[in-house]
A and B are shown apart, each in its own frame.
Chain A
Amino acid sequence: MNMDDPNMDDRMKTPDKSREQEIDRWLDDALSQYSKVDPRDGLEGRVLARLAEARREPTRKLHWWGALAFTTAAILAIALLWHAHTESMQFRETPAAKVVAPAATESRADNQQNLDASVLAKRTSVNHTSNNRPLTVAQHKANRGIPANTMQQAAPPKLEQFPSTHHLSQEEWSLVRYLNEQSDKEALLKATATPSEVDLSIDSLEIRPLEIPDIEISESQTN
C-alpha cells in the first residue's frame, strides 16, 4: 500500500461517507414512518358514537336528580302530614287544652276552677322572672321538681307548649298580682268569679208548712 498516494484519503473516506449517507437515509425513512400510522377503520364513527353517548349522559343525570328530588319532596310531605295529623290527634285527646288555650274567653272563666291556684301562681312567677320568654326544655324539666301533690291537683292540660308562649293579658296580670298578695284558694275563686256567678246567688229556700184548711163536716153529710 502506497501511503504517499494523494487519492488515498479519498478512497478511505469513501466507505465512511457512503455509510453515513446510508445511515442518513435509514434515519430519514425511519423518522418518516415513525408516526405514519393509520387508525383502524371506523375511528370517526366510534368517536362520534361516543360523543353522542356523552351528550345523552347529562340528560340521564338530570332525570336521576329529578327522581331523587321528587322522592325526597314526597317523603318530606308525608312526614309533615303525619306530624300535623299526630298533633291534631293529641290535641283532640286532651279537651282540657281547649279550656286553657284561648286567652280570654268566657268558657275559661267557667272552667277556671279546674286550675289550682298554686300552679297558676308558679307559672306566672316563672314567666315573670324570665322576662316573659318562652320556657326552655331545661326550664320545663326544672318545673317538674314542684311538689307532686300540686301537680296532681292541677292536672295541667296538654298544650303544644306549656306554659303558653303568649304574654299574659291584663286580666291575668291583675290576677297574678292578686294571687301574689294572697294566695288563697277562696280568694282566687272569688276573684275569678264572673258577675254572672255573683248574680246567681240564690236566697235560701224557705219552705213553709203546708196549711190545710179545717174541713167542716156537716151533719147531713155524715148521715
Chain B
Amino acid sequence: MTAHFVIAEQAIATAQPTKAESLLEFAVREHSRLVYRIAYSVLRDPADAEDAVQEVFLRVLRYGNKAARIKDWKAWLARIAWRVAVERRDKVTQSSARHEQTTDDLPGPGSGADRVLLERERAEVLQRLIAALPARLRDPLVLATIDELSPREVATVLGISEAAVRSRAFRARQILRERLTTPGDRK
C-alpha cells in the first residue's frame, strides 16, 4: 500500500502538463477522502462536505495544465479544501436543527445502540467545546484530528510554523480539558 502510494506520488510529480486530466482523475481517487475529511471537520455536515469536495476538484480543473507543476498534491489539495470549507462555513450558518437525521446516522442492527448514542453525544459535546475555542487555537486542533495530515502539512495549510501548530493544538487541548473538568462550563 505504502509502495503504491509512493509510486503514485512520483507519477504525479513527474507527469507532463499534457496529462493534466488523467492527473486530476488520479488525484480524485487518491485524495478525495482526505479532502472530504477536511471539509467535514470544518462544516460538520456530510452533504456540505461533499459539495465542498466537488468544488475543490472543480477549482483544480480550472488550473488546467498548471496543476501538473504541483509537486505536493496532498498538501496543495488540503490547502484548497481548507479554504473552500472555511468559505462555505462563513457563507452558510450551520445549525444543528438543519441537520436532518438520515438512515445513515441511525445505529445498525448489531452495532449497539447505546454505544452509538453515547458516541454521538460525546461528539456533540466536543463539537460545542471546539466551536467555542478562538479560531487561532481551533484551526490547528481541528486539522490535527485528521490522521492523514502531519503537523508539517497542517502548518502548510494554515501558513504557520510547525512549532506554532504543535503549541496551539496543545493549548487548545488544555482548554478543552479544563472545560470538561469544570462542570459549569460543560454546557
- A27 and B54 contact, Cβ closer than 8 Å, known pairs A34-B142, A44-B29: no
Chain B interface category by residue count: 35 or more
Q: Find out whether the CB atom of A43 lies under 8 angstroms from the CB atom of B145.
A: no
Count of chain A residues with a beta carbon within 8 Å of a chain B beta carbon: 27
- A39 and B177 contact, Cβ closer than 8 Å, known pairs A33-B123, A50-B58: no
Q: Find out whether the CB atom of B28 lies under 8 angstroms from the CB atom of A51.
A: yes
- Chain B residues within an 8 Å CB radius of A191: none
How far, in angstroms, from A27 to B29 measured CA to CA in the complex?
A: 32
Q: Find out whether the CB atom of A27 lies under 8 angstroms from the CB atom of B61.
A: no
A27-42 CB contact bits vs B (8 Å, 1 = yes)? 1011111111111100
Q: B105-133: which have CB < 8 Å to A?
A: 119, 122-123, 125-127, 130
Q: Find out whether the CB atom of A23 lies under 8 angstroms from the CB atom of B181.
A: yes
Task: Indicate if B37 sits at the interface (CB-CB under 8 A).
Answer: yes
Q: A157-197: which have CB < 8 Å to B?
A: none
For A37, the closest partner residue in chain B by CB is B40
Task: Indicate if A98 sits at the interface (CB-CB under 8 A).
Answer: no
- A43 and B177 contact, Cβ closer than 8 Å, known pairs A30-B122, A51-B58, A54-B58: no
Q: Find out whether the CB atom of B46 lies under 8 angstroms from the CB atom of A23.
A: no
Task: Indicate if B13 sits at the interface (CB-CB under 8 A).
Answer: no
- A39 and B41 contact, Cβ closer than 8 Å, known pairs A27-B180, A31-B126, A31-B145: no
| A14, chain B: closest CB distance, angstroms | 16
Q: Find out whether the CB atom of A39 lies under 8 angstroms from the CB atom of B49.
A: yes
Instruction: Enumerate 14 A-B pairs (CB-CB under 8 Å) in ascending A order.
Output: A20-B181, A27-B126, A31-B126, A33-B123, A34-B127, A34-B142, A36-B37, A37-B40, A37-B46, A39-B50, A43-B33, A47-B28, A47-B57, A50-B54
Residue numbers of B with Cβ under 8 A of A are: 21, 24-25, 28-29, 32-33, 36-38, 40-41, 46, 49-50, 53-54, 57-58, 61, 104, 119, 122-123, 125-127, 130, 141-142, 144-147, 173, 176-177, 180-181
Residue numbers of A with Cβ under 8 A of B are: 19-20, 23-24, 26-27, 29-40, 43-44, 46-48, 50-51, 54-55
